[in-house]
Amino acid sequence: MKLQRRFAIIGHKAPSSGEISLNDLPGLSGRMDVLARAINATLFLSHGIREDSQIIIHLMGGNGPPRRVMFDGSKLGGVRPDERSISGHFKSLIKLRLPPIGIWEKVSSGIYQSGGDIKTTLSEWERDNIKIYILDKKGKYLGIDNHNSMGFLLSDDITFDEYEKNLISGYDKISLGGEWLQGQSCITIIHHLIDSS
C-alpha cells in the first residue's frame, strides 16, 4: 500500500535514554502522554489501524543524543491504543543501543528506531518526495491537494525553538484555526480533511 500520510512530532523533554515512569507520563516522563496521544490519533481507528499512515516521534530530552521512533501503520502489531501501553514501548526501547543517524532498525512489528533529529526526518521526507507542511497557528489555512504523500510536522506542548524554526523556515506553514490546538486534535482534523477530500 502506498504511503499517504506521515506525521512527525518533537518531544522536547521526552527522554531519549534512561527511564520513563509509566506512573507519571506528563511529568517525570517529559510529556510522554502528549506523544502517546499523537500516536493514537495517527494510527488507530475505532476498529482497526490506518495502514496508510506513520508517525515519527523525536525524543529530544535527557542526557543522551536524540532518538527517533517510527510507528508504521502498514506493519504495526502488538500495540494497544492507550497511553500507558504505548509509553511502555518507549520505556523498553530507550534502553536499546541507539542506531546511527539515518539508519532505521526494527524494534518490533511496525516500530523502528534511528538516531537523528528533525533535520534528518525532513531530509528523508524530501528524498521520498513528501509534500511537507508545518503546523503553525499563524500559517495559512490548510487546503488539501492531491499530492500522493504528505508529511505534517508539529511540536509538543513547547513551541519550536530557534534551531527548529531555522530548519522549517522554507516549508509551507498551515493553520487549523485561530487557537493553539493539542497535537492529537490537529492530527484528527488533518485525517478528516484528507478523508473528506
> For residue range 131-190, what is the model confidence (pLDDT) as tens digits?
999 998 888 876 666 667 899 999 988 889 999 999 999 998 988 877 777 888 899 989
pLDDT band at 43 (very low <50, low <70, confident <90, very high): very high
Interaxial angle between packed helices 183-196 and 32-43, expressed in degrees from 0 to 180 and rounded to the nearest 10: 10
Q: What are phi and psi of 49, to 5 degrees?
A: -125, 140
H or E element, residue 162: helix 162-168
Domains recognised in the chain with CATH numbers: 5-196 (3.40.1280.10)
Say if pTM beats, i.e. exceeds, 0.85: yes
The angle formed by the CA atoms of residues 98, 53 and 22, to the nearest 5 degrees, is 50
